[in-house]
Amino acid sequence: MNESAWTRWPSREALLQVGVSRPRRVLGWVSRIVALGVLVATTFTKAGLSGWEIAAGIAGIMVCAFLLWAFWRTTLEHRLLPSVGLLTLLLAIATLGHGVGFRVPALVLWCGCAVSAIERLPLAAALPVTSVALSAYAAVNDDVWLTTAATTAGLALAGYVLRLDAEARGNAQRLLAQERAARAAEAESAALAERTRIAREIHDVLAHSLSAQLVHLEAARLLIERGADRDAILERVVAARGMAREGLAETRQALSALRGEMSPLEDFLSELVATADGADVTVTGERQPLPAETSQAVRRVAQEALTNVRKHARGAKVHMHLDYGESEVTLDVRDSGGPPGDLSGSGAGYGLLGMRERAELLGGSLEAGPEEEGFVVTLRVPV
């Protein structure tokens, strides 16, 4: 054994006997009560005891019970000196009891102190106490030396076995507590990730739609203040209504995605380009089911890219290319360029940042920048 094993206390879980089954606890207490009853009966039914001797015996039992309780508490708090001091008092009481004629209680008390010391104290402190207790037991025992030696060795072994059993239970309880804490942390992390995902969905679905509606409505207000004709005002109101409808449709799609009710990715992209003039999509590679997060990232990047084209390159042709590779899926969105649209000033500028965050969270990447004729957005996500 190394030094720490000699000086290490049994764990609090071991000393508290955490994890002991209820039947085992009941059996232990019944055994103690029966043993104590037999001990008291055999002691106080002995002929020749006077009244004061009986009173002294009862007082001694009560004092020993209190000291044993105090020893249990001090060892639970890992207080070495008080624990050793209490055992020393118990050994002294046993010696005194043996001297005044209480031989059997003294033997039992010596044996109990020896076992309790090994079970509940650091081994460096338990061995001297156990040695003293078992030496006193062996010195006054009337059995042959071989029986006495076997009994003392058995008592020491019993104490150590009880110690190992308690430590095993204590370790099991600590591992169980750590596992529960890990599960709670994992659940909290999952909840936080889910809240982040929902917040990202809310931004991607509603941010550009609401900002576009505000632009149209603000334009309508200015037209009204300037006394513009009815058709110009109505055009802005109708455009805002169209943006509201698109936002509602996208919100329903997002809710379906959060519930795991997503349509195939290829169908979604086909429907998406069908609502945009001059847009088309091609799919290459062997089609395969994608994880929900990956599929949702591709959908949102495609939506955001088309929205940016509508904002910044009115009338541009858009080509989407979805490629299923062996280890990653790639979405490429290219436009042919064009004049800024009416919504070029809308939004907070977080579209590309949100797309890039989506890709990085999944271990992928997003590249966006101008090319010779227009703008290109390329998303790569591992599958």
Strands (E) in the chain, as ranges, are 279-285, 318-324, 328-335, 365-370, 375-382
| pLDDT for the residue 344 | 47
| pLDDT for the residue 349 | 43
Could you say which residues of the chain have pLDDT below 70?
1-3, 17-21, 24, 28, 32, 35-36, 38-51, 53, 197, 200-205, 207-208, 249-250, 253-262, 339-351
pTM, to two decimals:
0.48
d(CA 128, CA 131): 5
CATH architecture of the domain covering 264-383: 2-Layer Sandwich (3.30)
The token duo for 191 is 């909840």
| pLDDT for the residue 169 | 79
pLDDT for 273-319, tens place per residue? 887 778 899 999 888 888 877 888 888 888 888 878 877 777 788 99
Which amino acid is present at 199? A
Which amino acid is present at 262? M
The token duo for 126 is 């338990």
Q: Give the CA angle between residues 245, 342, 252 to the nearest 5°.
A: 20
| pLDDT for the residue 236 | 83
Is residue 122 left, alpha or beta, with left meaning phi > 0 and alpha meaning psi from -120 to 50? beta
| pLDDT for the residue 81 | 92
| pLDDT for the residue 347 | 45
Task: Please state the domain extents for the chain.
Answer: 3-142, 264-383
| pLDDT for the residue 76 | 85
